[in-house]
Structure 1
Amino acid sequence: MFVADGAHWIWNRVPGLIKALGLNPESVHELLDFYHAVEHLGKVAGLRKNWSAKKRKAWVSKQRRFLLKGESATVVQEVQALCRGRNSKAIKTERDYFVRNRHRLAFPTVKALNLPIGSGAIESSIRRVVNLRLKGPCIFWYKENAEKMLMLRSYYKSGRWNCLKQMANSHISLLAA
């Protein structure tokens, strides 16, 4: 499962990552972060200057429900219908965001698999694990050492420490032979 916002640079790396990990592309799910998608809907509504705050909120809520039900084509049509007037270029940019990522809007499918529809947990763990533990005042790491520490911590936290010890011991045995 890959969940991210709509940034091109993220999604451009996914095929190479799938290949490097030896994953079956058929078993991989790509999903646009639901909360980023809703944020973009908010931008569209915000561009409608003639709408009241209440109307903007109601429109976003309606589109949000469409996304959760898997009706992303309806969302694209609704945004397309707003592509007129002074802010049409900005609204078209938002429409293109949904069109470009339409195959990553399978929220009902992912929810049915009991998988997350947002990237918040990962973003939070990056902040807590990487930024607060490896970065900070008076803390300096060489890149290769920071990566090694993250790997060691990952093995420990995932309960795979003994596996790591076995790999290290077998490597030492090979060197001694």
Structure 2
Amino acid sequence: MLGIVEATVSVGVRQMCCRVGIHQQGFVKAAEHLQALAQLRISPERVRHIAQAEGRRVQTIQAAGRVASDLSVETGRLRAGGPSRVYVGADGVKVPMVTQQEKTKRRQRRRRRRAGGVIRRMHRGADNPYKEFKIATLYEESNTHRLVVGTAGDHQVLGRLLRRQAATIGLDRFDQKLAVADGADWIEHQLQVRLPMLEEQVLDFYHFSEHVWQAVNDCFGQGTEKAQSFGQTLLHAAYHEGIAEVLVLLGQERRQHRAGSRRRQALEGLLRYLSKRASHCEYPRYLAAGYQIGSGPTEAMCKVLTYRLKGPGMRWDKEGAEPMMSLLALEQSNAWESYWQSQYQALQLCQKN
């Protein structure tokens, strides 16, 4: 139980507060919408309290791997009676936070306004104005059916969450299981440790190309003809011939430049990056198998799960931001209706007993 929220607010009102609370306009507008559309007069602070309390309940369910996802072996089939395929993605995204310095100023203003009154307890502020939240997605070919989670914890926390979601959908029972993500070391580590059943780990082609363009522009000059020509040559080779040819071309060009020179260092940096991830860059083979080579669904979830948190002028405590992200993840996992149905059923069971 979450205490006073559940004791005094019906399941229907909780659902309405969460529905309007996850939209970017904020809790003031959410309270106005409730009054205009449902004739419910609830203060913005109360709406916030109800929505975040519900978000914490959802966090508990997500952590236990008990979200009723519609992603399964059957919904993941490429065609009727055909093989099932599932993709896994992970990424980090920055969320604006309230710093301790800002908290101190707010407390001082509240004390002046409420001299002699009760001041609401405030959580400790963040050390930095932005904090990286981590997001994981599991989805089938069309991205219609998916399971999404997010956390303010570190990559170990996300890894544990990801492992539980994989168990929820029966990841090991899919015929084809692969990850598509950028080249961050923490992502590769968590995928290898938590999901050893994955058959492929694909370096997102957009991130691959970003590293190529960064290196050739550093080497030959931003936007120069040589940078454009060599960059296109490398990308064409990666897409049509494979990573081995890319490494050969880079090695040949590297030898054309003096040891220790800026140009050579730029190419050597790209060589090191791609050599370390060569097994994730076999794009011709992936394309021949019909695999996606872009992490667009995961990138989209980074935007969707944080759009409520990144409104104009918005700053958050971790304790407030994480529950709101969990509500958005519930909605994006197509589990919103099933979650609230379970809440009604739990209430009916309590009333019978």
For residues 31-60 of structure 1, give each alpha carbon's deviation from its aligned partner in whole angstroms, at most 9, with x where no partner exists.
Answer: 11212211222233224449x922322222
Out of 301, 323, 335, the position equivalent to 1:148 is 323
Distance 2:274 2:239 in 1: 14
The one of 55, 64, 89 aligned to 2:265: 89
Q: TM-score with structure 2 length normalisation?
A: 0.41
1:103 is aligned to 2:279: yes
SS of the aligned residue for 2:202 comes to strand
Q: Residues 250 and 267 of structure 2 are in contact (CA less than 8 Å); yes or no, is this contact kept in structure 1? A: yes
Q: Deviations over 1:60-85 (max 9, x none)?
A: 21221221125110101111122231
Q: Say if 1:144 and 1:56 are closer, same or farther in 2 by CA, change over 3 A.
A: same
Distance in 2 of aligned mates of 1:164 and 1:70:
48
| Aligned counterpart, 2:309 | 134
Q: Which residue of 2 aligns with 1:162?
A: 337
* Contact 2:204–2:293 (Cα < 8 Å) also in 1: yes
Higher helix share: 1
Measure the CA separation in 2 of the matches of 1:76 and 1:60: 13
1:14 aligned to 162, 187, 191, which one?
191
CA contact (8 A) 1:70 1:105 kept: no
- Tell me by how many angstroms 1:89 deviates: 2.8
Q: Which residue of 2 aligns with 1:22?
A: none
- Per-residue CA deviation, residues 118-154 of structure 1 (Å, 9 max, x unaligned), is 2344334423440x31133454544344333333333
Offset from partner CA, 1:97-136 (integer Å, 9 cap, x none): 1101111113234445555422344334423440x31133
Indicate the SS of the match to 2:229.
Answer: helix
User: CA 1:165 to 1:128, structure 2 compared with 1: closer, same or farther past 3 Å?
Assistant: closer
1:155 is displaced (CA, Å) by 2.8
Aligned to 1:38: 209
Q: Per-residue deviation at 1:166?
A: 4.3
Distance 1:46-1:135 versus aligned 2 partners, 3 A rule? closer
**Greater RCO, CA 8 A, separation 6+:** 2
Amino acid in structure 2 at the alignment position of 1:159: N
SS of the residue 1:12 aligns to: helix
Report what 1:21 is aligned to. none
- Alignment partners' CA distance in 1, 2:220 and 2:233: 18
Task: Give the stretch that moved more between structures: 56-65 or 107-116.
Answer: 107-116
C-alpha separation in 2, matches of 1:167 and 1:16: 33
Correspondence 1:66 to 2:237 = yes
What is the letter of the counterpart of residue 104 of structure 1?
H
TM-score by length of 1: 0.73
* 1:4 corresponding residue in structure 2: 181
Q: Could you tell me which amino acid in structure 2 is paired with residue 154 of structure 1?
A: A
Quick check: which has more Rg, 1 or 2? 2
Unaligned runs of 5+ in 1: 19-24
Residue correspondences, number: 169
Q: Aligned partners of 1:163, 1:70: CA distance in 2, in Å?
A: 47
What runs of 5+ residues in structure 2 fail to find an aligned partner? 1-86, 88-178
- Distance in 1 separating the partners of 2:313 and 2:229: 48
Q: Which amino acid in structure 1 is aligned with residue 270 of structure 2?
A: E
Aligned-pair identity (%): 26
Question: Counterpart of 1:31 in 2: which secondary structure?
Answer: strand
Q: CA RMSD in A?
A: 3.2
Closer/same/farther in 2, CA of residues 28 and 155 from structure 1, 3 Å limit: farther
Deviations 1:85-104 (A, max 9, x none): 12323321110111011111
Q: How many Å separate the matches in 2 of 1:47 and 1:140?
A: 36
